[in-house]
Amino acid sequence: MEQLKELKDRALIIAGGSSVNALTDAGIVPHFGGAIDPNPTQYTRLRQGLGFEVPFFYRNRVLHEAAKMISGPKLYLRGGDGYNSAEWIEKLMKVSGKVLGGGHSIANFAIEIAFALGCSPIILVGFDLAYTNDTLYASGVEEEPSESSEEKVVWQDFQGHPIKTAWKWIVEANWITELKKKHRSLKLLNATEGGLAIQGVPNVPFQEAVDKYLGKSYDLDGLVHLAIQEAGTIGGTKEKIVHAMETMLASLGKTIEILDALLYEIKKTSSVHPLERSEVVLVLEQLHAEIAFQYILDVFDRMRDKLDFFRRRFRLSPTVTQNKKAQFERELLFNHYFFLKEVTIVNQILITRCLHGA
């Protein structure tokens, strides 16, 4: 921490999530913060943080109570991390810009943000991805009760020694490896001096990285301020967003009607598979045409298809009769679209609550 304090004008410091708290607790204000998670922990972190006026990168999926706690400039990043409704709003509001992948955490996302900003090399500090000294966070960060119950696994650190980590951090490390393979110009160094091994990312002592790459001084605070001023603002107004939500709400209502008609057709007794009947095909075309399906239900539909594939694999043995197989397929299809109806109703309730301020 003491070394980092001396680097505020030599290195662009980007921190996400709990690391913002760790830095500000040590008297270091990062140039950028980041928040993307929709869970309550995000609110706790930002409420406890001392990084007033820190510019924050965020995505639409971040917990809205947490977003309200950001006192500095809010830097909107496109994309919904699987929530396509965010992309629909962006299209209506004519929000331009590149969509970054983001990885599996704000730690991954910070790397992609740094790369998009043109930072080279990107030096990882405090990036242990492990329970170093049996602790989850650095000093100045409170641990949530739910986090202490996460399963610990034994893996290898960058020197080949056993280390306690979690599956989520192993996944994050693999994502960094894949990002490095995808972008050959990406120069990454891990100066954490401990923690999980990240394949393809060399480990170097922190002071060595400082001496080799951080020799020049810049007015980084001034450059950040200027870049934010030049970035402009999103043109969407509250009225436009409310109108878009009302449009989506109307489509969700129409989708429920279509799904009810589809479920009715699937339940009809017939020797022909439901998907081979013209009535069912026609209703499916109506369903797929709705914006509620395209931007909300589609991802759930595709995930359910994967689950249905495994259900068929485990339930339909070669000895199953054709009649039982046909019955199973009909039930599977019915449950598939009944599930989509439940998803539709949940989204209908959520948007209604938003519109009425509940």
Give the three-state DSSP class for 10. Answer: coil
CA 136 to CA 224: how far, in whole Å?
31
Q: What is the mean pLDDT of the chain?
A: 86
32-35 and 56-58 beta bridge pairing: parallel
Residue 33: beta bridge partners? 15, 56
Q: Is 252 exposed, middle or buried (0-12, 13-18, 19+ CB in 10 A)?
A: buried
Q: Where are the beta strands (DSSP E) in 98-149?
A: 122-124
Between CA 297 and CA 88 the distance in angstroms is 13
Model pLDDT for residues 87-128, shown as the tens digit of each residue: 888 888 888 888 887 777 888 889 999 999 999 999 999 888
Tokens of 149: 């119950």
Look up the pTM and report it. 0.78
What is the C-alpha separation between 137 and 131, in angstroms, rounded? 8
What is the rounded end-to-end Cα distance, in angstroms, of the chain?
A: 43
pLDDT at 85: 86
Rounded Cα–Cα distance for residues 287 and 254 (Å) = 9
Cβ neighbours, 10 Å, residue 185: 6
- Helix (H/G/I), strand (E/B), else coil: 142: coil
Reply yes or no on whether the pLDDT at 358 is more than 80. no
The predicted model gives 232-251 an average pLDDT of 89
Rounded to an integer, what is the distance from CA 192 to the centroid of its chain? 24
- Average pLDDT over every residue of 317-341: 86
Q: Can you tell me the distance from the alpha carbon of 190 to that of 316, in angstroms, rounded to the nearest whole number?
A: 49
Q: What is the pLDDT of residue 213?
A: 95
Which residues lie closer than 8 Å to 276 by C-beta, 6 or more apart? none
Two structure tokens written together for 301: 């539909």
Confidence of residue 134 (pLDDT cuts 50, 70, 90): low
Q: What are phi and psi of 76, to 5 degrees?
A: -75, 130
Contact between 339 and 347 under an 8 Å Cβ cutoff? The reply is: no
**CB proximity list for 284: less than 8 A, separation 6 or greater:** 262, 275
Measured CA angle at 183 (ends 181, 189), to 5 deg: 75
Q: What is the pLDDT of residues 40-99, one digit of tens each?
A: 776 666 665 555 688 999 888 888 888 888 888 999 988 877 778 888 888 888 888 888
| Backbone φ/ψ region at 53: left (φ over 0), alpha (ψ -120 to 50), beta | left
Torsion of CA 205, 210, 211, 213, to 10 degrees: 110
* β pairing state of 188-190 and 74-76: unpaired
Cβ–Cβ < 8 Å for 12, 39: no
Q: Which residue has the tokens 């204000």?
A: 29
| pLDDT at site 306 | 93
Report the run of H or E that residue 174 belongs to, with start and end: helix 167-182
> What is the average pLDDT across 210-228?
94
Most confident of 135-139, 167-171, 243-247: 243-247
Name the β-bridge partners of 32.
14
